[in-house]
Chains A and B, each alone.
Chain A
Amino acid sequence: MNAPRPSAVPILRLGDVLVTGLLNELDDTSALTFTDELTERIVADGARGVLIDVSRLDLIDSFVARTLTELATMARLLGARVIVAGMRPAVAITLVELGLQLKGVETALNAEQGMHALGWQQTARSPRGDAYDALR
Protein backbone atom coordinates (compact mmCIF):
# COMPACT_ATOMS: atom_id res chain seq x y z
CA MET A 1 0.00 0.00 0.00
CA ASN A 2 1.30 3.47 -0.85
CA ALA A 3 1.75 6.08 1.82
CA PRO A 4 -0.42 9.11 1.01
CA ARG A 5 1.42 11.52 -1.24
CA PRO A 6 1.96 14.89 0.48
CA SER A 7 -0.16 17.70 -0.95
CA ALA A 8 2.89 19.93 -1.57
CA VAL A 9 0.94 22.96 -0.35
CA PRO A 10 3.25 25.04 1.88
CA ILE A 11 1.99 25.90 5.36
CA LEU A 12 3.93 28.64 7.17
CA ARG A 13 3.67 29.51 10.83
CA LEU A 14 3.75 33.12 12.01
CA GLY A 15 3.41 33.13 15.77
CA ASP A 16 0.17 31.33 16.51
CA VAL A 17 -1.19 31.81 12.97
CA LEU A 18 -0.77 29.34 10.10
CA VAL A 19 -0.62 30.86 6.61
CA THR A 20 -1.30 28.89 3.48
CA GLY A 21 -2.67 29.29 -0.02
CA LEU A 22 -4.47 27.17 -2.60
CA LEU A 23 -3.50 26.80 -6.26
CA ASN A 24 -5.58 25.91 -9.31
CA GLU A 25 -3.46 22.86 -10.01
CA LEU A 26 -4.48 21.11 -6.80
CA ASP A 27 -6.24 17.85 -7.63
CA ASP A 28 -9.00 16.34 -5.47
CA THR A 29 -6.80 13.83 -3.68
CA SER A 30 -4.23 16.51 -2.86
CA ALA A 31 -6.98 18.81 -1.60
CA LEU A 32 -8.13 16.12 0.83
CA THR A 33 -4.54 15.40 1.88
CA PHE A 34 -4.04 19.12 2.44
CA THR A 35 -7.07 19.17 4.76
CA ASP A 36 -5.45 16.44 6.87
CA GLU A 37 -2.08 18.16 6.85
CA LEU A 38 -3.54 21.49 7.91
CA THR A 39 -5.60 20.02 10.75
CA GLU A 40 -2.52 18.14 11.96
CA ARG A 41 -0.47 21.33 11.87
CA ILE A 42 -3.15 23.23 13.82
CA VAL A 43 -2.78 20.71 16.61
CA ALA A 44 1.01 20.29 16.37
CA ASP A 45 1.66 24.05 16.35
CA GLY A 46 -1.15 24.99 18.70
CA ALA A 47 -2.38 27.47 16.10
CA ARG A 48 -5.13 29.90 17.06
CA GLY A 49 -5.71 31.20 13.56
CA VAL A 50 -5.40 30.01 9.95
CA LEU A 51 -5.23 32.24 6.90
CA ILE A 52 -6.04 30.52 3.61
CA ASP A 53 -5.18 32.69 0.65
CA VAL A 54 -7.39 31.86 -2.35
CA SER A 55 -6.38 34.83 -4.50
CA ARG A 56 -4.73 32.58 -7.04
CA LEU A 57 -7.79 30.35 -7.55
CA ASP A 58 -9.53 31.27 -10.80
CA LEU A 59 -12.34 28.86 -9.95
CA ILE A 60 -14.03 27.53 -6.84
CA ASP A 61 -16.39 24.68 -7.63
CA SER A 62 -18.56 22.71 -5.23
CA PHE A 63 -15.70 20.39 -4.35
CA VAL A 64 -13.34 23.18 -3.31
CA ALA A 65 -16.20 24.96 -1.54
CA ARG A 66 -16.90 21.83 0.47
CA THR A 67 -13.21 21.42 1.28
CA LEU A 68 -13.03 25.00 2.59
CA THR A 69 -16.23 24.61 4.61
CA GLU A 70 -15.02 21.37 6.18
CA LEU A 71 -11.62 22.86 6.95
CA ALA A 72 -13.20 25.81 8.70
CA THR A 73 -15.41 23.50 10.76
CA MET A 74 -12.58 21.18 11.76
CA ALA A 75 -10.31 24.07 12.64
CA ARG A 76 -13.02 25.61 14.78
CA LEU A 77 -13.47 22.34 16.65
CA LEU A 78 -9.73 22.44 17.32
CA GLY A 79 -9.94 25.98 18.64
CA ALA A 80 -8.55 27.79 15.61
CA ARG A 81 -10.20 30.48 13.54
CA VAL A 82 -9.98 30.18 9.76
CA ILE A 83 -10.11 33.15 7.42
CA VAL A 84 -10.37 32.61 3.67
CA ALA A 85 -8.80 35.64 2.03
CA GLY A 86 -8.56 37.21 -1.38
CA MET A 87 -11.35 35.57 -3.34
CA ARG A 88 -11.49 36.99 -6.85
CA PRO A 89 -14.71 38.86 -7.72
CA ALA A 90 -15.55 36.59 -10.66
CA VAL A 91 -15.17 33.57 -8.39
CA ALA A 92 -17.42 35.11 -5.72
CA ILE A 93 -20.13 35.91 -8.29
CA THR A 94 -20.02 32.38 -9.66
CA LEU A 95 -20.12 30.80 -6.20
CA VAL A 96 -23.27 32.72 -5.34
CA GLU A 97 -24.91 31.58 -8.59
CA LEU A 98 -23.90 28.00 -7.83
CA GLY A 99 -25.82 28.47 -4.59
CA LEU A 100 -22.77 28.02 -2.38
CA GLN A 101 -22.29 30.62 0.32
CA LEU A 102 -19.40 29.05 2.24
CA LYS A 103 -21.62 29.15 5.31
CA GLY A 104 -19.64 29.36 8.50
CA VAL A 105 -16.46 30.38 6.70
CA GLU A 106 -15.03 33.77 7.63
CA THR A 107 -13.63 35.75 4.74
CA ALA A 108 -11.43 38.79 4.19
CA LEU A 109 -10.88 40.97 1.15
CA ASN A 110 -7.18 40.16 1.03
CA ALA A 111 -4.44 38.42 2.98
CA GLU A 112 -3.43 41.60 4.76
CA GLN A 113 -6.93 42.24 6.12
CA GLY A 114 -7.21 38.59 7.00
CA MET A 115 -4.01 38.71 9.02
CA HIS A 116 -5.21 41.88 10.68
CA ALA A 117 -8.43 40.14 11.70
CA LEU A 118 -6.33 37.32 13.15
CA GLY A 119 -4.52 39.82 15.35
CA TRP A 120 -1.54 40.75 13.26
CA GLN A 121 -0.93 44.51 13.25
CA GLN A 122 0.88 46.06 10.36
CA THR A 123 3.97 47.87 11.53
CA ALA A 124 6.53 49.82 9.52
CA ARG A 125 8.29 46.55 8.81
CA SER A 126 5.37 44.23 8.44
CA PRO A 127 5.88 40.96 10.30
CA ARG A 128 3.68 39.48 7.61
CA GLY A 129 5.61 40.73 4.61
CA ASP A 130 8.66 38.52 4.18
CA ALA A 131 7.18 35.25 5.26
CA TYR A 132 3.96 35.80 3.37
CA ASP A 133 5.86 36.70 0.21
CA ALA A 134 7.68 33.41 0.48
CA LEU A 135 4.39 31.72 -0.39
CA ARG A 136 3.80 33.53 -3.67
Chain B
Amino acid sequence: MTLYDEAFARGARHADAPLRPVGLDVAPDGAQTHAVMSEQDLLTVRHAVRSATVAAGFALVDQTRIVTAASELARNAYVHGGGGSLTIEVLGHGARGGVRLTVRDNGPGIPDLDKALTDGWTTGTGLGHGLGGARRLMHEFGVDTTVGEGTTVTAVRWNNR
Protein backbone atom coordinates (compact mmCIF):
# COMPACT_ATOMS: atom_id res chain seq x y z
CA MET B 1 0.00 0.00 0.00
CA THR B 2 1.27 3.44 -0.79
CA LEU B 3 0.57 6.79 0.74
CA TYR B 4 1.73 9.81 -1.19
CA ASP B 5 1.68 13.17 0.42
CA GLU B 6 2.05 16.22 -1.72
CA ALA B 7 5.72 16.06 -2.33
CA PHE B 8 6.64 12.47 -1.87
CA ALA B 9 6.50 12.83 -5.62
CA ARG B 10 9.25 15.41 -5.34
CA GLY B 11 11.35 12.84 -3.58
CA ALA B 12 10.37 10.07 -5.99
CA ARG B 13 13.51 10.33 -8.07
CA HIS B 14 15.50 9.63 -4.99
CA ALA B 15 13.15 6.97 -3.67
CA ASP B 16 13.54 5.04 -6.90
CA ALA B 17 17.30 5.15 -6.72
CA PRO B 18 18.86 1.74 -6.18
CA LEU B 19 19.37 0.64 -2.61
CA ARG B 20 22.85 1.54 -1.55
CA PRO B 21 24.85 -0.95 0.43
CA VAL B 22 24.06 -0.68 4.11
CA GLY B 23 26.75 1.19 6.01
CA LEU B 24 28.15 4.66 6.01
CA ASP B 25 28.45 5.85 2.48
CA VAL B 26 28.71 9.36 1.15
CA ALA B 27 27.19 9.53 -2.29
CA PRO B 28 28.16 12.17 -4.89
CA ASP B 29 24.97 14.17 -4.19
CA GLY B 30 26.00 14.56 -0.55
CA ALA B 31 23.54 11.99 0.74
CA GLN B 32 24.81 10.03 3.71
CA THR B 33 23.52 6.55 4.36
CA HIS B 34 23.81 4.95 7.78
CA ALA B 35 23.08 1.41 8.81
CA VAL B 36 20.24 0.91 11.28
CA MET B 37 21.08 -2.60 12.43
CA SER B 38 21.72 -2.20 16.16
CA GLU B 39 20.79 -0.09 19.17
CA GLN B 40 24.16 1.61 18.85
CA ASP B 41 23.24 2.56 15.27
CA LEU B 42 20.10 4.28 16.59
CA LEU B 43 22.32 6.58 18.65
CA THR B 44 24.79 7.14 15.80
CA VAL B 45 21.99 8.05 13.42
CA ARG B 46 20.67 10.69 15.81
CA HIS B 47 24.06 12.38 15.94
CA ALA B 48 24.33 12.34 12.15
CA VAL B 49 20.82 13.80 11.70
CA ARG B 50 21.52 16.46 14.32
CA SER B 51 24.66 17.52 12.42
CA ALA B 52 22.72 17.68 9.16
CA THR B 53 20.03 19.91 10.70
CA VAL B 54 22.72 22.23 12.00
CA ALA B 55 24.36 22.27 8.55
CA ALA B 56 20.99 23.15 7.01
CA GLY B 57 20.63 26.09 9.38
CA PHE B 58 17.70 24.87 11.48
CA ALA B 59 17.02 26.46 14.87
CA LEU B 60 16.97 24.33 18.01
CA VAL B 61 13.27 23.39 18.14
CA ASP B 62 13.28 22.32 14.49
CA GLN B 63 16.50 20.37 15.02
CA THR B 64 14.80 18.55 17.87
CA ARG B 65 11.69 17.83 15.75
CA ILE B 66 13.75 16.36 12.92
CA VAL B 67 16.06 14.30 15.13
CA THR B 68 13.06 12.96 17.05
CA ALA B 69 11.27 12.00 13.81
CA ALA B 70 14.47 10.29 12.62
CA SER B 71 14.72 8.42 15.90
CA GLU B 72 11.14 7.14 15.56
CA LEU B 73 11.57 6.05 11.95
CA ALA B 74 14.96 4.42 12.55
CA ARG B 75 13.60 2.58 15.56
CA ASN B 76 10.68 1.30 13.51
CA ALA B 77 13.05 0.04 10.81
CA TYR B 78 15.13 -1.67 13.49
CA VAL B 79 12.31 -3.08 15.63
CA HIS B 80 9.57 -3.84 13.09
CA GLY B 81 11.59 -4.02 9.88
CA GLY B 82 14.42 -6.19 11.20
CA GLY B 83 17.00 -3.49 10.45
CA GLY B 84 17.58 -1.17 7.54
CA SER B 85 19.20 2.11 6.67
CA LEU B 86 18.67 5.84 7.00
CA THR B 87 19.73 8.31 4.32
CA ILE B 88 20.15 11.98 5.18
CA GLU B 89 20.21 14.74 2.58
CA VAL B 90 20.69 18.42 3.23
CA LEU B 91 18.51 20.25 0.69
CA GLY B 92 20.23 23.61 0.72
CA HIS B 93 20.97 25.90 3.62
CA GLY B 94 19.16 28.74 5.37
CA ALA B 95 15.70 30.14 4.68
CA ARG B 96 14.98 27.83 1.76
CA GLY B 97 16.92 24.90 3.06
CA GLY B 98 15.65 21.59 4.32
CA VAL B 99 16.53 18.08 5.33
CA ARG B 100 15.24 14.86 3.80
CA LEU B 101 15.27 11.57 5.66
CA THR B 102 14.79 8.28 3.83
CA VAL B 103 14.43 5.23 6.05
CA ARG B 104 14.36 1.83 4.34
CA ASP B 105 14.01 -1.72 5.48
CA ASN B 106 13.37 -5.06 3.82
CA GLY B 107 11.08 -6.25 6.60
CA PRO B 108 7.50 -7.52 6.59
CA GLY B 109 5.93 -4.27 5.34
CA ILE B 110 2.85 -2.60 6.83
CA PRO B 111 -0.43 -4.31 5.88
CA ASP B 112 -2.70 -1.46 7.01
CA LEU B 113 -0.96 1.87 6.73
CA ASP B 114 -3.92 3.96 7.88
CA LYS B 115 -4.05 2.04 11.13
CA ALA B 116 -0.27 2.21 11.55
CA LEU B 117 -0.45 6.00 11.25
CA THR B 118 -3.16 6.19 13.93
CA ASP B 119 -1.97 7.31 17.36
CA GLY B 120 -2.11 4.51 19.86
CA TRP B 121 -2.16 1.70 17.29
CA THR B 122 0.67 -0.76 17.72
CA THR B 123 1.42 -4.39 17.01
CA GLY B 124 4.16 -4.34 19.62
CA THR B 125 4.61 -3.04 23.12
CA GLY B 126 5.16 0.59 22.09
CA LEU B 127 2.82 3.53 22.53
CA GLY B 128 1.92 3.52 18.84
CA HIS B 129 2.84 7.16 18.42
CA GLY B 130 6.03 6.83 16.43
CA LEU B 131 4.84 6.82 12.84
CA GLY B 132 1.97 9.32 13.18
CA GLY B 133 4.11 11.49 15.43
CA ALA B 134 7.01 11.54 12.99
CA ARG B 135 4.55 12.57 10.28
CA ARG B 136 3.37 15.53 12.36
CA LEU B 137 6.93 16.61 13.06
CA MET B 138 7.79 16.82 9.35
CA HIS B 139 6.35 18.87 6.47
CA GLU B 140 6.28 16.14 3.85
CA PHE B 141 5.85 12.50 4.58
CA GLY B 142 5.50 9.47 2.35
CA VAL B 143 5.33 5.79 3.10
CA ASP B 144 5.92 3.19 0.42
CA THR B 145 5.36 -0.27 1.81
CA THR B 146 4.76 -3.69 0.33
CA VAL B 147 3.85 -6.67 2.47
CA GLY B 148 6.67 -9.18 2.42
CA GLU B 149 9.09 -6.76 0.77
CA GLY B 150 9.71 -3.86 3.08
CA THR B 151 9.03 -0.26 3.90
CA THR B 152 10.51 3.05 2.81
CA VAL B 153 9.56 6.23 4.62
CA THR B 154 10.58 9.58 3.15
CA ALA B 155 10.20 12.75 5.21
CA VAL B 156 11.23 16.35 4.61
CA ARG B 157 11.22 19.39 6.83
CA TRP B 158 11.86 22.81 5.36
CA ASN B 159 13.26 25.81 7.12
CA ASN B 160 10.97 28.85 7.26
CA ARG B 161 7.67 27.17 6.62
Residues of A within 8 A of B (CB): 24-25, 27-29, 58-63, 65-66, 88-91, 93-94, 97-100
Check: B129 CB closer than 8 A to any chain A CB: yes
Query: If the complex has contacts A94-B68, A98-B133, are A27 and B61 also in contact, measured as CB distance less than 8 A?
Result: no
Q: A62 CA to B71 CA in the complex, in Å? A: 9
Do B39 and A100 have beta carbons less than 8 Å apart? Answer: no
Residues of A within 8 A of B65 (CB): 93-94, 97
Name B53-83 residues within 8 Å CB distance of A. 60-61, 63-65, 67-68, 71-72, 75
Do A59 and B129 have beta carbons less than 8 Å apart? Answer: no
Query: If the complex has contacts A59-B46, A100-B127, are A93 and B61 also in contact, measured as CB distance less than 8 A?
Result: yes
Do A66 and B42 have beta carbons less than 8 Å apart? Answer: no
Do A27 and B40 have beta carbons less than 8 Å apart? Answer: yes
How far in angstroms is the closest Cβ of chain B from A131? 29
Residues of B within 8 A of A65 (CB): 127
Give the dominant DSSP class at B's interface: helix
Residues of B within 8 A of A (CB): 39-40, 42-43, 46, 50, 60-61, 63-65, 67-68, 71-72, 75, 119, 126-127, 129-130, 132-134, 136-137
Residue of A nearest to B120 (CB): A99
- Among B39, B63, B126, the residue within 8 A (CB) of A62 is B126
- Among B43, B46, B133, the residue within 8 A (CB) of A99 is B133
Ranked nearest first, the 10 interchain pairs of A and B with the lowest CB-CB distance are A98-B133, A90-B64, A27-B39, A61-B71, A90-B61, A94-B64, A62-B129, A90-B60, A94-B68, A62-B130
- Among B68, B132, B136, the residue within 8 A (CB) of A61 is B68
Do B39 and A29 have beta carbons less than 8 Å apart? Answer: yes
Residues of B within 8 A of A29 (CB): 39
Residue of B nearest to A95 (CB): B68
Q: A28 CA to B40 CA in the complex, in Å? A: 9
Q: A74 CA to B77 CA in the complex, in Å? A: 29
- Among B40, B43, B64, B130, the residue within 8 A (CB) of A93 is B64
Do B43 and A97 have beta carbons less than 8 Å apart? Answer: no
Q: A60 CA to B42 CA in the complex, in Å? A: 13
Residue of B nearest to A61 (CB): B71
Do B61 and A98 have beta carbons less than 8 Å apart? Answer: no
How far in angstroms is the closest Cβ of chain B from A64? 9
Give 8 CB contacts A-B under 8 Å: A61-B68, A61-B72, A66-B126, A90-B61, A94-B65, A98-B68, A98-B72, A99-B133
